[in-house]
Structure 1
Amino acid sequence: MHTEAGVFGRSHELSRRGHEQVVFCEDDKTGLKAIIAIHSTVLGPALGGTRMYPYASESQALDDVLRLSWGMTYKSAAAGVDLGGGKAVIIGDPAHDKSEELFASYARFVETLGGRYITAGDVGTNTDDLDAIGRYTSHVTGRSAVAGGSGDSAGLTALGVFNAMRAGAESVWGTASLAGRTVGVEGVGKVGRALISLLLADGAEVCATDVNEAALQRISQETPGVRLLGSVATAPVDVYAPCALGGTLTASSAEAIEAKLVCGAANNQLANPAVEQALTERGITWVPDFVANAGGLIQVAGELQGADRATVEGDVRGIFDRCRDIITAAKAEGIGTGAAANRFAERRLDAIPRSI
């Protein structure tokens, strides 16, 4: 993305579907500097988490929020929920800059949008922060159970990824089971740990890596059968599951991967669109991240609708069928799974006349 481009230029570099609204929020009293990006409200209010991160520049923060909000539109459309796409970023260090006053100020900006944007959790924010935001605006989801929310979404995000991986396994090996397969999990945070538990229960062999040594020690103590490696991306595994930061699938890593299936929880896994073609040419199936990791979105959408846990879990398990359909369509049309997933989402978006 060309950082010298203005807001409109950056928006249209992502796709032909430009952003509806971008709001810059600043409060000198609390030190708040935030950006809220509403990409689309075609299918419903724009839902997307609030990311708190010490961006090196405002330009970097703007690039991130535009990219992430655009991705949420496609994630919501592909997940079949009646929500649009949005995202927010707060420029700051989550380890030092959080305060009740800062979140109160941010929540008041969210409130001024009148429900066009509904926030949730993301990198750098948690249920405690969402509870604080929820004291000043009703346009928030993903709060703790004590505050009337559905709690942490890591478990259902992992369940969705697991079912996406099963769909991928069916396509590659003819069976929707990971039993006997070796899965390399990159990133053992809350979602990665939950995914590992599901994989082990299914009979998979798991190896894992993380840049956080404490996280690795925790996995070693909780599940001593998991092998810890310096890297899993190029290890001799059947499945590579990126569950940490995005952009790990590069032109060089695509040439070195030994896995036949790539499916994980990380957002924006491809460093650029050309990487998917490199994977396809090597016979590697990639399950698009915004389809596989939609479990958390489905959970908070269910919270907004007042759905019970069993209903939400059933919807998350439906990611299996969605991924199967996308992989089948990609093969039938001779296109990549990413393009097939985009078409799947765009059919929903294009079926409704665009209006604001």
Structure 2
Amino acid sequence: MFSHERIIIRRGPESGLPIIVAVHSTALGTALGGCRLKAYPQWQDGLADALRLSAAMTDKCALAGLPNGGGKTVIALPTGATPDPGLRVAALHDAGSVIEELGGHYATGPDVGTGPDDMVTIGHRTNHVFCRPAGAGGSGDSSPGTAAGTVAALRAVCRARFGSTDPAGRSFAVVGLGRVGGRVARLLAESGAKLVVADVDPAKRSLADELGATWATPEEALTAAVDVLVPAALGGLLTPTSVAALRCAAVAGPANNQLDTPATADLLHNRDILWAPDYVVSAGGVISATAVELHHESPQQVTARLDAIADTLTEVFASAQRDGVTPSAAATAEARRRAG
């Protein structure tokens, strides 16, 4: 059933690229969602991404207790394309112009392929943008907040699965060592956890050496015999095939859209692998950015909101156990209730 409030698909007049903005819900307030600059086989694949991610953002905001709904911007590049600086600026300007048309019903921030500096470029065409660099009046990189929220979630997972929130001595496989995944690995190492880490970029092996972690390929890390698998790269990692090969007790990480289809949550449940819904785990970025830029909260309030991700996840696990459903179903039901 179609559930989005508004979708704009436009050929950018400056870039010539497909610009897609999907607003899923404004029931709780302004819709929020990142701007993704990514290559797709067909632009329609970018549309599918925008629809799926904007709906997940509604759930993320609702479960994070934010007065916001969900949206998404996708700038669809042709397969194999890498935009030159001029085309990149033109595409970001086009995205800003479309966002401005929505009159404040939606605001964007960084996502795959974009960062704080790109938000300045989008900001040339609209004020409805967040996570600009601190020097430009924004909150800057949201990855520290996402990483802190992820570690709070991992503590809740450890409590639910192993009876203690302490990650010390527990083993984790972190797949993806980007801005968020690298920080999560570092925080876990500082807490005394044992790590297997992986990334498609072999240069990231230096972080493994620094942390005393075992380096692996992403395929090896996915099936490592660890307590918790931590997906921290792109989505779609959990499929019927990969779930059958898992050797972990739980899966929890900041990567969005980890399940290839909703039914894969049932496969994890049937294997007694605890899955923490990704839109709960990864909420720290939007929590910290909006707290600073939109709600003007203190650092102490931001920290409390990030720590509360663990409480939300604990409630989700308790509801799932009580009602005999998967954590995915329990989280979705609670998000829908909060969003009306």
Tell me whether the two structures share a fold, i.e. TM-score over 0.5: yes
Aligned Cα root-mean-square deviation (Å): 1.5
Q: CA deviation at 1:105?
A: 3.0
Aligned to 1:347: 337
- Correspondence 1:46-195 to 2 at 5 A: 46-92=31-77, 93=81, 95-96=83-84, 98-195=87-184
Q: Is the 8 A contact 1:260 1:283 kept in 2?
A: yes
Rounded Cα–Cα distance in structure 1 between residues aligned with 2:92 and 2:59 = 28
Give the match's secondary structure for 1:70: helix
Q: Find out whether 1:285 has 2:274 as its counterpart.
A: yes
Residue 175 and residue 147 in structure 1: after superposition, are their counterparts in 2 closer, same or farther (change >3 A)?
Answer: same
Give the match's secondary structure for 1:268: coil
Aligned to 1:8: none
Q: Which moved more, 1:199-208 or 1:90-99?
A: 90-99
Rounded Cα–Cα distance in structure 2 between residues aligned with 1:112 and 1:273 = 33
- Match of 2:205, as an amino acid? Q
Q: Which moved more, 1:253-262 or 1:29-38?
A: 29-38
- Correspondence 1:136-285 to 2 at 5 A: 136-214=125-203, 216-223=204-211, 225-230=212-217, 231-285=220-274
Q: Is the 8 A contact 1:40 1:73 kept in 2?
A: yes
Q: Which moved more, 1:172-181 or 1:245-254?
A: 245-254
- Match of 1:217, as an amino acid? R
Residue 102 and residue 246 in structure 1: after superposition, are their counterparts in 2 closer, same or farther (change >3 A)?
Answer: closer
Q: Is the 8 A contact 2:251 2:273 kept in 1?
A: yes
- Correspondence 1:13-24 to 2 at 5 A: 18-24=3-9
Q: Find out whether 1:36 has 2:26 as its counterpart.
A: no
Q: Is the 8 A contact 2:197 2:208 kept in 1?
A: no
Q: Deviations over 1:48-92 (max 9, x none)?
A: 011011222121111111111111111111111000110010122
Give the match's secondary structure for 2:70: strand
Give the match's secondary structure for 1:52: strand
Q: CA deviation at 1:136?
A: 2.3
Q: Is the 8 A contact 1:70 1:86 kept in 2?
A: yes
Give the match's secondary structure for 1:195: helix
Q: Is the 8 A contact 1:239 1:260 kept in 2?
A: yes
Q: Is the 8 A contact 2:232 2:254 kept in 1?
A: yes
With normalisation by structure 1, the TM-score equals 0.90
- Match of 1:226, as an amino acid? A
Gaps of 5+ in 2: none
- Match of 2:311, as an amino acid? D
Residue 136 and residue 203 in structure 1: after superposition, are their counterparts in 2 closer, same or farther (change >3 A)?
Answer: same
Q: Is the 8 A contact 2:13 2:94 kept in 1?
A: no
With normalisation by structure 2, the TM-score equals 0.94
Q: Deviations over 1:199-230 (max 9, x none)?
A: 1121101111111112x23313542x011012
Aligned to 1:7: none
**Could you tell me the percent identity over the aligned residues?**
40
Q: Is the 8 A contact 1:40 1:84 kept in 2?
A: yes
Aligned to 1:304: 294
Q: Deviations over 1:5-46 (max 9, x none)?
A: xxxxxxx2xxxx611100122234432420100011000011
Give the match's secondary structure for 2:134: coil
Rounded Cα–Cα distance in structure 2 between residues aligned with 1:94 and 1:322 = 39
Aligned to 1:353: none
- Match of 1:245, as an amino acid? L
Q: CA deviation at 1:337?
A: 0.2
- Match of 1:334, as an amino acid? G
Q: CA deviation at 1:190?
A: 0.8
Rounded Cα–Cα distance in structure 2 between residues aligned with 1:110 and 1:274 = 33
Give the match's secondary structure for 1:40: coil
Q: Deviations over 1:225-283 (max 9, x none)?
A: 01101221111111100111111111122222111111011111112222222221222
Rounded Cα–Cα distance in structure 2 between residues aligned with 1:37 and 1:205 = 40
Aligned length: 333
Q: Which moved more, 1:92-101 or 1:264-273?
A: 92-101
Aligned to 1:25: 10
Give the match's secondary structure for 2:196: strand
Aligned to 1:319: 309
Give the match's secondary structure for 1:31: coil
